[in-house]
């Protein structure tokens, strides 16, 4: 059982033990969910779906507020400065929170103080895809090609410091080869570039890559998970493909509140989210899109982020990745 699945089980047990006693009430009738990404992206859709489920669960009105830009910093800062009354929440890739302090010389906040975890909501296990014309059919062949042609392998990323950039650096370092990075303005354009033959390889959400694979413009080599994906069972895990375990990262979208929201209110929001997810069709609906929906205890989300801080700090420092 992986950490995410363990956290989901822990959340269910926590809710069962909460009962009706709360030291402080979650009172706002309208709750804003800030999404620091454009409309139509996975975290935006996820925020809208969990908002609808929470509305049915609690009777409150949930409004999604898109504040994209600066690798999620703009939206995160807005939540950090919001009133700590539970009326403002943040839906963000928790890896962005962890890595931004390593990428930027100045940030308007320290995430550990600015926001407080409520729960994980969905994990996206990334896949590695290559352009159809690249003369490799397996991951081991890709590694051999890259080693025989140092720096010749051009890999597309969602931008400098994006999870796909960091992830490709992790993959290359763990498996002993080098590559040249081609940053795009978002992972969507990077996938389009891969399908058009502009770059040789990309890691991204599996569903988007699988769609290109059906058109035979992209070849899927591995998924960064312990198990194969239900929507693409023919794609091996990275270890099955001959790579090192954990060398392709996962993205986890999580829900946060302003850092000064009382723990008792966090507990109420957490309980409502767990019950809303359990009572909605989100798990089944998102599975077909490559997202593993579930919840975690706030403390477990924080513990995972602290582990990621140590892991990614080394990767980013050794690769010299910076955004000024």
Q: Write the pLDDT tens digit of every residue in 100-147.
A: 999 999 999 999 999 999 999 999 989 999 999 999 999 999 999 999
**What CATH number did the domain enclosing 158 receive?**
3.40.190.10
Q: Are residues 160 and 210 in the same domain?
A: yes
Pull the structure tokens for residue 318.
């050794």
pLDDT confidence bin for 20, thresholds 50/70/90: very low
pLDDT digits (tens, 9 = 90+) for 37-75: 888 888 999 999 999 999 999 999 999 999 998 889 999
**Do 77 and 117 fall into the same domain?**
yes
Q: Give the Cα separation of 153 and 301 in Å (integer).
A: 35
Q: Are residues 199 and 106 in the same domain?
A: no
Are the beta carbons of 85 and 30 closer than 8 angstroms?
A: no
Angle between helix 298-319 and helix 163-175 axes, rounded to 10 deg: 70
Domain-embedded: residue 228: no
Query: Which alpha helices (DSSP H) does the chain contain, by range?
Result: 3-18, 42-58, 73-80, 94-103, 111-114, 139-148, 163-175, 187-195, 206-214, 263-278, 282-287, 298-319
202 and 212 belong to one structural domain? yes
Per-residue pLDDT band for 323 (boundaries 50, 70, 90) equals confident
Whether pLDDT at 21 is above 60: no
pLDDT tens by residue, 141-196: 999 999 999 989 999 998 889 889 999 999 999 999 999 999 998 888 999 999 99
Both 21 and 108 in one domain: the answer is yes
User: Which residue, among 275, 282, 141, has the nearest Cα to 201 in the 3D structure?
Assistant: 141
Question: How does residue 15 score in pLDDT terms, banded at 50, 70 and 90?
Answer: very low
Return d(Cα 289, Cα 309) in angstroms, integer.
Answer: 28
Expressed as residue numbers, the domain containing 185 is: 125-223
Within a domain: residue 324? no
pLDDT of residue 302: 97
d(CA 96, CA 73): 9
CA nearest 4: which of 250, 206, 168, 207? Answer: 250
Number of domains forming the structure of the chain? 2
Look up the CATH number of the domain holding residue 84.
Answer: 3.40.190.150
Chain-wide mean pLDDT for the chain? 90
Residue 237: inside a domain:
no
| Residue 285 banded pLDDT, cuts 50, 70, 90 | confident
pLDDT band at 22 (very low <50, low <70, confident <90, very high): very low
Q: How far apart are CA 261 and CA 87, in angstroms?
A: 10
**Rounded Cα–Cα distance for residues 168 and 179 (Å):** 9
Pair 308, 215 in one domain:
no
Confidence of residue 225 (pLDDT cuts 50, 70, 90): confident
On the question of pLDDT at 304 being above 70, the answer is yes
**Alpha carbons 192 and 156: distance in angstroms, whole number:** 10
């Amino acid at each position: 059982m992986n950490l995410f699945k363990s956290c989901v089980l822990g959340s269910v047990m926590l809710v069962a033990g909460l009962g009706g006693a709360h030291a402080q009430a979650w009172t706002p009738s309208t709750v804003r969910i800030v999404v620091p990404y454009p409309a139509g992206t996975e975290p935006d859709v996820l925020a809208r779906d969990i908002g609808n489920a929470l509305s049915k669960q609690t009777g409150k009105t949930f409004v999604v507020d898109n504040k994209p830009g600066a690798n999620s910093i703009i939206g995160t800062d807005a939540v950090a400065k919001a009133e700590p009354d539970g009326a403002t929440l943040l839906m963000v890739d928790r890896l962005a929170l962890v890595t931004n302090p390593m990428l930027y010389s100045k940030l308007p906040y320290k995430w550990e103080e600015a926001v407080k975890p409520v729960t994980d909501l969905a994990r996206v296990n990334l896949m590695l895809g290559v352009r159809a014309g690249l003369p490799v059919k397996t991951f081991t062949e890709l590694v051999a090609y890259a080693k025989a042609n140092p720096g010749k392998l051009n890999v597309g990323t969602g931008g400098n410091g994006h999870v796909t950039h960091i992830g490709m650096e992790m993959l290359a370092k763990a498996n002993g080869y080098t590559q040249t990075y081609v940053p795009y303005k978002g992972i969507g354009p990077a996938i389009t570039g891969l399908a058009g033959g502009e770059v040789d390889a990309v890691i991204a959400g599996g569903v988007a890559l699988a769609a290109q694979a059906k058109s035979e413009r992209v070849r899927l080599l591995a998924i960064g998970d312990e198990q194969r994906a239900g929507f693409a069972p023919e794609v091996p895990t990275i270890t099955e493909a001959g790579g090192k375990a954990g060398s392709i990262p996962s993205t986890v979208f999580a829900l946060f509140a302003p850092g000064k929201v009382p723990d008792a209110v966090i507990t109420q929001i957490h309980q409502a989210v767990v019950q809303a997810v359990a009572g909605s069709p989100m798990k089944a609906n998102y599975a077909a899109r490559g997202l593993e929906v579930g919840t975690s205890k706030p403390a477990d989300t924080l513990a995972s982020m602290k582990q990621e801080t140590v892991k990614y700090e080394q990767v980013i420092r050794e690769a010299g990745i910076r955004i000024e």
